[in-house]
Structure 1
């Protein structure tokens, strides 16, 4: 009888929802090992497992909105404006800089956002930070689909400034003949969830705060 009872208890524990880790599909436009490792550790704190899906930036948010994926790894605060089925978490995961890149022989050593007024500026489609910044100037950037296309246009002189973010910096190969200038500005980035997972948001925020407080988050974000 005791053996039967023990077997039943073991079976109930195995079937318990608390013992199973929920898997969430997470869109990651950048494919950064560093950020993926950090989010994996964060999810583990609340019994979640991320399944990363590489998607272009604009499509990634649309995929969270329509439920094709469950979350987006990180977006600048306010980037989900206009989306009805997404929520931004409260605790920022990182600060992102909007970085201008120019040709190596350019006279510019530093640029501010107002300096871009009237210049031909390019960005990868879906980089909301760049699109929003240019909208403030009353201009539209030249949009391309890939980072490679963006820096090919810069090298060919078809644009004067290429805008990228500090979390999606171009490769050394793409930067041949170019120079990276200091960020125009920085903004906080947050994790984004589809609304069906809204109950998870407070738990993830609390776990992230705890990891920041004990230094674990900083170590994960500083790892190569």
Structure 2
């Protein structure tokens, strides 16, 4: 009987700390709206459900992908919708919620008509989405003579590739829905890492309460329903619900 009181007290304290963190700052949390990819749209839908269950109002606004990290790190945005953990290395004011939203596949598409047999390090040109941290870090390792072309979003990158204006396209958490017309295309998954929701450090007291809510949505089938709706696969590995620290990669 008495063993229940420490756990109950912990839950009450967690709730009060989360409420205090929200009350002492904005009344509403503000995030960048989802990109035009299934994984991002799924994340926005799931997080909307989680914050609603917690009684916390949220708003999603249009912000360039690269700019949102800067504004989130400054605290002008409440955090990031979904990012890989390595983003916190360059933006140290962000804290990851210990719940895997989805697995991020980094997919390379190469035009085999223009660049037959080319690999990631031997293509002449590659388009990628500006602000995608995982892509930008990978591209730094490429030879300096490879032409790197930035696109504002997935649709713009796809258009450049399908119009054969570049040899290759690098996408994160996105796959072309069909084979491009007019040329042979080869896809290779270069890397897979987990994505997490992130909050500015002033909302740190919310992290565990939000993770607990997300695990509840996992348990009651809400997450599975939304994954089916948006066509997003379950993460290959999910954290244990008692863990307080996210991990960058699963081995």
What TM-score comes out, normalization by structure 2 length?
Answer: 0.67
1:62 aligned residue = 70
Alpha-carbon contact 1:103-1:177 (below 8 Å) kept: no
The answer for the alignment partner of 1:196 in structure 2 is 202
Equivalent of 1:132 in 137, 145, 170: 137
SS in 2 for 1:40: helix
* SS of corresponding position for 1:26: strand
Q: CA RMSD in A?
A: 3.3
After TM superposition, give the deviation of residue 108 of structure 1 in Å: 6.7
Q: Give distance in 2, aligned partners of 1:188 and 1:135.
A: 21
Q: Deviations over 1:125-144 (max 9, x none)?
A: 11212112223445573323
The question of whether the paired residues in 2 share the 8 Å contact of 1:28 and 1:73 is answered with yes
Choose 1 or 2 for highest CA Rg. 1
1:166 equivalenced with 2:166 (yes/no): no
Distance in structure 2 (CA, Å) of the matches to 1:199 and 1:138? 43
Comparing 211-220 and 58-67, the one that deviates more: 211-220
Q: Distance in 2 between matches of 1:126 and 1:176?
A: 28
Q: Contact 1:123 / 1:142 at 8 angstroms: preserved in 2? A: yes
Cross-structure match for 1:80 = 88
Residue 213 of structure 2 aligns with which residue?
207
- Structure 1 residues 148, 95: closer, same or farther in 2, change over 3 A? closer
Q: Post-superposition shift, 1:216?
A: 2.3
Equivalent position SS for 1:92: coil
1:154 aligns to what?
A: 161
CA distance in 1, matches of 2:48, 2:156: 31
Q: Aligned to 1:117, which of 114, 121, 125?
A: 121
Kept after mapping to 2: 8 A contact 1:211/1:217: yes
Structure 1 residues 180 and 94: CA distance shift in structure 2, 3 A: farther
Determine the C-alpha separation between the residues in 1 that align with 2:222 and 2:191. 26
Q: Is the 8 A contact 2:43 2:101 kept in 1?
A: no
Q: CA deviation at 1:201?
A: 0.7
CA shift for structure 1 position 35: 2.9
Instruction: Tell me by how many angstroms 1:160 deviates.
Output: 1.2
Q: Aligned equivalents of 1:45 and 1:180: distance in 2?
A: 43
Aligned residues: 201
* Partner Cα separation in structure 2 for residue 153 and residue 36 of structure 1: 27
Query: Is residue 222 of structure 2 the alignment partner of residue 222 of structure 1?
Result: no
Distance 1:170 1:52 in 2: 26
Mark the runs of 5 or more structure 2 residues left unpaired by the alignment: 1-18, 231-251
Gaps of 5+ in 1: 1-16
Contact conserved, 1:58 with 1:127, CA < 8 A, in 2? yes
TM-score (norm 1): 0.74
